[in-house]
Amino acid sequence: MKCLIWLTALFTIAFTVDLSAQTADWTEYYNGTANDSDVVFDMMTDAEGNVYVLGNAINTGTSTDIVLVKYDRYGTLQWSEEYASPGEVRDEAASLILDDNNDCLYFMAQMADTTSHVVVKYDYQGNFQWEENVGGEVCQGRNLAVDQSGDLITATLDWGVRISKISSTGTTLWSYTALDGFIPNPEMIKIDASGNIYIVGYDQFGSLGFIAKFDASGSELWNSVVYNEGTGGQGALVSLDFLSSGNIVVTGGYNPLGETDNFPDLYVRCFTPAGDTAWTYTYGNLGMYEWSPAMTVRNDTVFVVGLVTLTPEYSFNSALIALSSTGALLWDEIYDRGEEAEFDMPHRISILGDQIYMPLYSSAQYDQTLHLPFDIGCLCYNTAGEFQWEYFTDGIDDYFGEGDGRRYSLDIIASAVSPGEIALSAVTGTTPSGSEDIVLQMITVDIPNRTWHVAETGNDTTGDGSSGSPYGTIQYAINQSVDGDTVLVHDGTYDGDGNREIDFFGKQIIVRSENGPDVTIIETYSPSNTYGLFYFQNGEDTLSILQGFTIRYGSQGITIDGASPKIIDCRIYYNFKLLFDIGGGVTISNGSPQFINCIFDTNISYGGGGGAVYCDLGTPKFSNCLFYHNEAPDGFTDVLLFYQSTSLFTNCTFCSNTVYKSGSGMITSNQSSVDMINCILAFSNEVAVDCINGGTVTLSCCNVYGNSGGDYTGCISGQNGINGNISADPVFCDTANGDLHIKYGSPCAPVNNECGELIGALNYGDAIVVENLNDSGRGSFRWAMDSANTDISWPDTILFTVSGTVMLQSELIPFLDWHVTILGSSAPGGAHSVILDGSALSTGSGFFFGDDSNYVEGLTIRSFPDHGIKVHEATGGNTFTNNLIYGNGGLGIDLNEDGVTLNDLDDLDTGANSLLNYPEIDSVIMNPDSTFAIYGTAADSAVIEFFVAHPAKDTTRPVDTSGHGEAFFFIGSDTADNNGDFTYLTEEYIKFNSLITCTATDTYGNTSEFSENFQLTPRPLIIVAYSPVNLWVTDPDGYYIGKDASGILSQTLFPATYDEIDHDSVHIFAPIPGEYLIEVTGEDDAPPGATYSIGITIDGSQMCVPVLNADAPGSGTIDTVNYGVEEYGHFVNGDASGNDAINVLDISYIISYLYKGGPAPINDIAADANCDGGLNILDVTYIISYLYKGGNPPCYIES
């Protein structure tokens, strides 16, 4: 992911980037009007990424004026202001700060009169506010600070330290001089949480450093002087910061006792608030120059930047040192650019998140005069001390430069807007203008995406955005982020500065709550909250995501201007616009935002309309959103108002919204196009929809109902009853209290409307809803089962909004609750479309019922190692209806967990589900229309359900070895009479010879095990011989019926008849599966040359002719014909393709088989259309003649 770096500098523009991960995007310059040397002294950035540069510019002659310049984050100059003394004099800038609200700037400056030291205030638009002279001489340190009251504290050199307090309106409140025993240069000033003021610095001769503490009124409390203890050298304190204990850490350099060299060591000392030394740490002592120009504290870790020597030769390197709060060394890193006898001089340190930035000068050589070329650079480490990247550009030609005061321009300032957004300052001799100019450069840096944490207890100043040290405001975390990052907001209520008018600044980031909108609330009671709690105005797109917040009490919830963010799972509640203003909840202008799973509740617009939403020239999309109890009061219009916009609503619910102008719509389309799909518009106090000035609203699969001013009126009149639109009570769970879930019987449920889809935003509220096919987690079937078992005293219903297979990875928990109802038929695919699959398990059943009165309907339960369903012996009233149960290792249903429980006389036994007897089948009769009548007995008034236990000839669905079930297909149900008798007529064709099983459910809700399987046997089988021959038929079990050549009838096959009226025929009324042998003998009186034919029909089918006009067998000879009674054993002559019809497909089928290597016909006799005993082109011409020329049917038998 790319992030941005500001580079503000005075340097040559021939950039040299050492790592390809950093590239320069653009460069801007500031050049004084005299086209002479311009210098940067300080620089700051605000929350929006604007950069403020304070420096000197030569505008006329050789005088230097103070210049304050503002650039936006894209490098565009916003304004520049000059501040100068009269005449050709030299004024020098010093320290720049922003106030806490980022709306005004203060800087210090030394004017031409060296005793004139001023503080100057500008607003953020560059307008001069005031100046105040505090006297003294200016040092180049950070000697300006703002206290908790917004007043300013300054420190200057005045033969001592002059400390002054100036109000935010420019009045000096007090001014004192302290430390007058020597000439101290104040280098840094900071104010602690109690308002105490600390100043560090050094004397003019560089021989000592000092720290002084003052109370909030300017009274000195204590001071401490750090003298050089060695025999020579230098010493100073230049930086300070605070630990959480209140201790103060200072850094600089000094000579320890016993050292005789002329160089200081890097020095860190910790003081208590009372001024006592807590600990001291030194680094160096190689007899060379070691120094710390900067330090900061983050999470009680002290990070120190140092200049150190690694060898006795003149080679200086940058050091980064981390110390604990007790002064222990945690780690140290030395940066060596790799040049021999190099000189690397770090200047400051900036930490943003876990990234540490060190701006520095770097030279490939060392010269004690420092008249040598230096590069400008920046190093990046993380807070664990791991090197991240380096960046260098060509910089100054001469470290000291020319002219007085030139060294001050060597300060390199780092100010981070976000990770990697860094500003630097320096001096150059080469620019497009030919002079030394202020340069602003943007570079990008590859850094990994990260998560920034925000908590109520966090702190923007001391936090680093980690989970253990979060920031305190959402805006600050956003400011640190880059594209691809996440801002994670912990539970809490957030208000105040940094938590209102929150701006993404165009970043493609996710800002989301940790645990959802119920526990993460953004609010404000400020009427000055002009743009809402969130303000999208910088071209954000759908990769800018806001998720999981309650946004409430704002003068507006969200403002979107020219942006298209994605808003997910947010509750926009009780936001309000005052008189004659628009858009209480959300205002959209020129954007295409998306709102997903959001709730707009009790938002109000007093006077301008759009209580919930106002959209002007936008193209928003809303999906699965609720609009409840929003208002447009005071006689004005529109809860949702769209002007010159195109909007789409999908699965949204509008309920109980109120407008106070007769005839106005809850939704108004003004010169706009509004499309609504699967939405509910209900119970508003006026018309549902109003269109004006050519606006349109188009509905599809919507329910408009109960709106006091009318439902399908105005521009949506005529849309009721078309495109799936309805007008019916949506049957919400609790409208009065805002529960807009629908009940199971609602016409908006997918199973209850012609669209077959959910209408509205919320599904069933009177049930536990399975929303995904995962094995675990919220919305899964396992989660639903766990939820049903949570409260064992309350009935629960489990419904489905998905269809498909749930692959279980572990056993489901037993039913420990009572009155749990599982409705598989509620799934979009209807009954049996939800499949519970246990093939991944090594043990376990599909369901185990350990309590009473549960109900399972419409599921598919398959492939479990043990039983499909098992019921504990002590339970009863458990109903299993219309479930497919198959492929399980045990029984489909097992009562008492002991295998098949055989029926007992009068069903007197007790146990699981009362050990209800399964149905007993008395007889099965096939009807002429291929249906079956099933006769049997069961418990009085029991419901009998019939299932296919094994489809005939289907090897993929084998019969259960127990002989009881299982259930591959549901056939139907019947109810036994008061005596337990039932007759069930199958309503659809079932393959004959299939095995059928059934269950009984008595009036107490007990469901039995599966019954013994029984077979649907086809009838009758009729074999006709066209004389003069006799027939002898033997079934697959060896039983027979027939006549011999002399006409004597013999029979062991019953029930069957042998008739001889016009022709000899055998009727077998209960044929069994398998092959029948048909033997043909000639009659004794058959005339010479006689022929015969055989025709066969079964179950009323069209006759097939296996023999046509064959010579009648002579005396002592027998012809044989085989016929298989099976699902596909019967055939129609000429139907080569086996599709139960004779048509052109059979012609092409035979040609393909004969000449193109196609598949063989279902059998040779079926393809032999002319019954000549062969299969050839003559059969093709025969079928053509039959189909198209009026010829005889295939194998035509003349009566």
Q: What is the predicted pLDDT for the residue at 545?
A: 95
DSSP 1156-1193: S--PPPS-HHHH-TT-SS--SHHHHHHHHHHHHS-PPP
Q: How many CB atoms lie within 10 A of CB 175?
A: 17
First to last CA, the chain: 90
Question: CB-based contacts of 2: which residues, under 8 Å, 6+ apart?
Answer: 444, 445, 446, 482, 483
Token pair 């999309």 is at which residue? 621
- Secondary structure letter of residue 815 according to DSSP: B
Chain centroid, CA 1044 distance in Å: 83
d(CA 997, CA 1017) in angstroms, rounded, equals 14
Q: How many CB atoms lie within 10 A of CB 45?
A: 23
Two structure tokens written together for 112: 């031409």
- Angle at 284 (CA atoms; ends 283, 287), nearest 5 degrees: 155
Alpha carbons within 13 angstroms on the beta-carbon side of residue 1139 total: 9
- Secondary structure letter of residue 480 according to DSSP: H
Torsion angle (degrees, nearest 10) of CA 190, 193, 194, 195:
40
Two structure tokens written together for 592: 């295409």
Q: What is the predicted pLDDT for the residue at 922?
A: 84
Alpha carbons within 13 angstroms on the beta-carbon side of residue 539 total: 0
Q: Which CATH class is domain 1131-1198?
A: mainly alpha
d(CA 1113, CA 1122) in angstroms, rounded, equals 17
Label residue 720 left, alpha or beta by phi (over 0 means left) and psi (-120 to 50 means alpha).
beta
3-state secondary structure of 736: helix
pLDDT, tens digit, 9 for 90 and up, residues 131-186: 988 876 655 556 888 888 888 999 887 777 889 999 989 999 998 888 776 677 88
Two structure tokens written together for 422: 């860094």
Chain centroid, CA 743 distance in Å: 28
Distance (Å) of CA 220 to CA 142, 177, 213, 214, 245: 20, 10, 6, 4, 21
Two structure tokens written together for 535: 């303000």
d(CA 967, CA 787) in angstroms, rounded, equals 29
Return the beta strands (E) in 20-103 as ranges. 22-30, 39-45, 51-58, 64-71, 77-83, 92-98
What CATH number labels 1019-1125?
2.60.60
Residue type, 693: N
d(CA 705, CA 689) in angstroms, rounded, equals 12
Fold agreement between 1019-1125 and 1131-1198: no
- Angle at 230 (CA atoms; ends 225, 235), nearest 5 degrees: 45
DSSP 738-807: TEEEEPTT-TTSGGGSTT-S--SS--BSSSEEE----SSSTTSHHHHHHHHHH-TTS-EEEEES--EEEE
| Positive/negative CA dihedral, 443, 446, 451, 455 | negative
Q: How many CB atoms lie within 10 A of CB 592?
A: 18
Q: What is the predicted pLDDT for the residue at 989?
A: 64
- Angle at 1133 (CA atoms; ends 1127, 1134), nearest 5 degrees: 115
Chain centroid, CA 1098 distance in Å: 61
Chain centroid, CA 1093 distance in Å: 74
- Angle at 288 (CA atoms; ends 282, 289), nearest 5 degrees: 70
pLDDT, tens digit, 9 for 90 and up, residues 613-642: 999 999 999 999 999 998 887 545 677 788
- Secondary structure letter of residue 967 according to DSSP: B
Q: Which residue ranges in the chain fall short of pLDDT 50?
A: 1-21, 230-231, 257-258, 286-287, 341, 399-418, 429, 635, 793
Q: What is the predicted pLDDT for the residue at 1121?
A: 92
Question: CB-based contacts of 260: which residues, under 8 Å, 6+ apart?
Answer: 230, 231, 232
Q: What is the predicted pLDDT for the residue at 411?
A: 40
d(CA 1148, CA 1163) in angstroms, rounded, equals 16
pTM: 0.53
Phi, psi of 257 (to 5 degrees): -60, 135
Q: Are 980 and 938 in contact (CB under 8 A)?
A: yes
| Residue closest to 441 by CA, chosen among 941, 22, 960, 926 | 22
Per-domain boundaries in the chain: 23-133+415-448, 574-765, 769-1015, 1019-1125, 1131-1198
Q: What is the predicted pLDDT for the residue at 874?
A: 74
